[in-house]
Amino acid sequence: MSDEHGSVFDGLIGGDSSQWAFGSDFEDPLAGVDTTTPAGVASTDLAGYCLMLGDDALIMSQRLSEWCSRAPDLEEDIALANMALDLLGQARLLLARAAAADPGVVPALPEGSPVPPEDALAFFRDAGRFRNVRLAEVANGDFAHVVVRLLLFSVARHALLERLRASTDQVLAAVAAKGVKEVAYHRDWAGRWFLVLAQGTEESRRRLLTALDALWPLRAELLVTHPVELSLARAGAAVDPASIRDEVDVVLDQVLAVSGVDRPDLAPPAVAGGGRDGAHTEALDRLLAEMQVVARAHPSGRW
C-alpha cells in the first residue's frame, strides 16, 4: 500500500534497528550503571549470585511463556505472557550483571559472534551450569499447577527483592526496586486464583490440591542458604534466604487459611545436591533443548 507520501511501512524499514525484538544491535542493558564490584565482595561470588536469581527468572519465564494461547481465557493468557516478560526482563539484567562481574562465566563463542553476554549465558550453557531452583524447571501441568508454582515462587521472590533493594551492589538494588513491584502482582494474581480454585468446583479443588502436593516439597530450595548467598549477605550485597523464611510462611499460611486448605506436611525430595549447584531434573534438559535450539544452530547468526 502506498500513495504520494510513500509506503505505510516506511517507518518499519531502515533507520533504527533497535526497535526489533531480535537483532545484534541491542544496547548494553547496564549502560550508564556503575558495575564496580562493591568493597568486600568477591566478583566470582557476585556473578554466581546473579546467575542464581537470573536463572530462576529465566526458567520461570520460559515455563510461563509456554502457557501463551493455552490459558482458560484471553485475559489470563495475556496476564501470564506479561508475567513471563517481567521475569525475562529481570533475567536479562541479572545475567548481564553476572557477566560484568565475572566474564569467565560466559560460554566461549566463535570470534566475532554478535551474541551479547546475557544471551550467551541464556542460550549456550548446558543444564549443569544453570543455577535455578528446581521448582522453576519442572514441566508444566494444568492451570492449577501454574497457579501453585507461581504462588510458591513469587511469595519467596517478593520477600527477597524487598530486602535486596538495600544491596550495596547498584545493579542488584536497581533490579530489586523495579522487580518487587512486578512480582507483587505475580504473587497477588496467583493468590487470587488459588482461592478461586480452592473454593470453586470439586474438580478445581482436586486439581489444586494435587498440584500443591506435587510442588510443595520443591519450595524448600528457595529458602535454603547457599554458601555464596551467605557470604554476600554478610557483605551487604545479597539476602540470606533463611532470613525471609518466616515472612514467606506467614503469607502462604494466610493464603491457605482463607482458601480452606491445610498446610502440606511434605518433606523436600531426598536427592543429592540442588539446583543452585547444578543438580537438576530431566525437565530442564528438555526445556533448554527447545529454548536454545535456534541459537545453537546458528551461533554466529544475525537476526
Domain ranges of the chain: 42-263+273-297
- Other C-beta atoms lying within 10 Å of the C-beta of residue 215: 21
Residue 117 and residue 95 in contact, taking contact as beta carbons nearer than 8 Å: yes
Q: What is the DSSP string of 248-270?
A: HHHHHHHHHHHHT-PPP--PPP-
| Closest alpha carbon to 194 in 143, 153, 158, 268 | 143
Residue pLDDT tens, the chain, 303 long: 445 555 544 544 455 444 433 344 567 888 878 889 999 999 999 999 999 999 999 999 999 999 999 989 999 999 999 999 999 999 999 999 999 999 999 999 877 778 899 999 999 999 999 999 999 999 999 999 999 999 999 999 999 999 999 999 999 999 999 999 999 999 999 999 999 999 999 999 999 999 999 999 999 999 999 999 999 999 999 999 999 999 999 999 999 999 999 999 987 776 657 899 999 999 999 999 999 999 988 887 776
Question: Look-up: residue for cell 566475532?
Answer: 112
Beta bridge partners of 6: 3
Question: Look-up: residue for cell 510462611?
Answer: 249
H or E element in which residue 7 lies? strand 6-7
Q: What is the DSSP string of 38-69?
A: PTT--HHHHHHHHHHHHHHHHHHHHHHHTTTT
Distance (Å) of CA 178 to CA 92, 123, 182, 221: 13, 25, 7, 24
Architecture of domain 42-263+273-297: Up-down Bundle (1.20)
Distance (Å) of CA 288 to CA 66, 114, 250: 13, 21, 34
